[in-house]
Chains A and B, each alone.
Chain A
Amino acid sequence: MIKTERVPTGIQGLDQVIEGGLPKGRSFLVTGDPGTGKTIFALQFLMEGLKRGEKCIFVSADEGPIDVMEQAASLGWDLEPYVESKALAILNAGTYLGSLPGSGKERQFDVPKAVSDLASFVNQIGAERMVLDPAGPFVLLRDTAIRIQDQTRLLIKLLRSSMKTTNILTSYAVPRTGERSMHGIEEYLVAGAIVLEMIWQDHGLGRSLIVEKMRCTDVKPTQLEFDITKGQGIVILPAQ
């Protein structure tokens, strides 16, 4: 029988729930409002890979590489040695994306070209894990929602066909009702979706993580509460 190979996220309580990790070689979506921990989730996923000796790629669309490294450092993760030893490549698409005109005449973002460029980086270092943080700018067009969906489908399909990496795509929260595609990624196109949220509890504001979808995985819809701690990143709290 075919057994799904798993890629541990490095978030222990989560890996337990999803049979050891994310199904290998697919793309997964992590959504949430700003400040809910998407980038931390992504960094933790890469740190886990780096600790296991895997090569990783972090593609940043909003923040510069230094900002990414600073954020990792604030959690106690030193990326610098990995970058220097070329185990981790940080790619910045911010300059290019910023050069696309902000409005008016649509200039398409060339998804196949972007993926083939990424694939050449992936193959160069033999990467096994990749993060696009956030993925939205790679599929946004000043065009209709249908085109965004097409671009997204194309991006995910091309990622799957042109590289063997397991990918985390982060995206801003998608409203629960109404338009589900406002900021980019359709949940049904990815192999799994994890939603990060802030929730009100008896003892104040808390953080929660929901596995909304996970292919090849028998996962009960559970809301996991978590903390973010220095040195460990996302730590799932024991169920009460």
Chain B
Amino acid sequence: MTAYIIRRLLLLPALLFGVTVIIFGLLQFLSPVERSALYVREIPHTEGAVEGIIKRYGLDQPIYVQYWHWLVGRIDPVTGKRVGGILRGDLGYSRVGSQPVASLIAQRFPATAELALWAVVPIIGVGIWLGVQSAVRHNRFFDQVARVFSIIGWSFPTFVFGLLVLMIFYAKLKWFPPGRISDWASAVINSGQFHQYTHLYTIDALLNLRFDIFWDALKHLILPVLTLSYLNWALLLRVTRSSMLEVLGQDYIRTARAKGLPERLVINRHARPNALIPVVTLAGLMVAGLLGGVVITETVFNYPGIGSAAAQAAIQLDVITVLGFALFNGTILILANLIVDILYAVIDPRVRLE
């Protein structure tokens, strides 16, 4: 297994290289002036300023030189300091956020992480439960309903679903508002009294023993979590169900039944663990997707996370910012893939032996 994990780890730099290549490739669609946002906040409106910036930051140099500078930064010939360089955490300057892209990501990430934290348990728990039950009751009423739900859920765009639940639960019933936190709670959080340990409002509120704020933050999370859930349930249900059906047809399940095991044990001990192996991949990618920011759901609910920031930047054509988010997103995806592959080796001996 160690050899497998090492092999997998060796692949990591190659994958990360792949992400940087595609992001840098997309950058090349921009003019040198637009690309200067990687290094400077704005170009002064004076004669020759543009040419000066291009020369100063080497935006007219061969592409591999520029790629290298983009990776590790470039010594500014005027100040003698190293500027830029994504490996140093400098992703350029965000026109939309009026701050460096990296600090914009850091500022927005807690909101996205909080949403992911609350979404992950219901999505994976309920999704897998639905799939297992659906397979165990193959072709019975539960299964039929679950399959209908799966295909309709799969066809339902998140933004339509999001607008519908906003219409019902916000505009009509006034139960769950959009956004992340109410104004009064936001005032409390930003006052000196409230200590922000994690920047996840629900957890901070509990640590500060402010249950009213906890409830307020939770109320803002319910609709986005619901929206993320139905789509992922539809997907998990399909995959778990078909995998479970396949396992239930195996000989060792018949053996388990033949030796007189109660059906509950056959399902829980023999069938389910084996059926969940392919589900691990999907669940891992879902978590990565949640952490990378869910562009549409966050936009519909006006939730100030990574995804809605990326969408805002895209609308205002701030490509440098969007590319910074994409780099972050792609890196998370690669790391999640790595973790999933290693988990695979832990839970499935067949992978180790290959």
Whether chain B is bound by chain A comes out as: no
Interface, chain A (partner B; CB < 8 A): none
Binding site for A on B (CB under 8 A): none
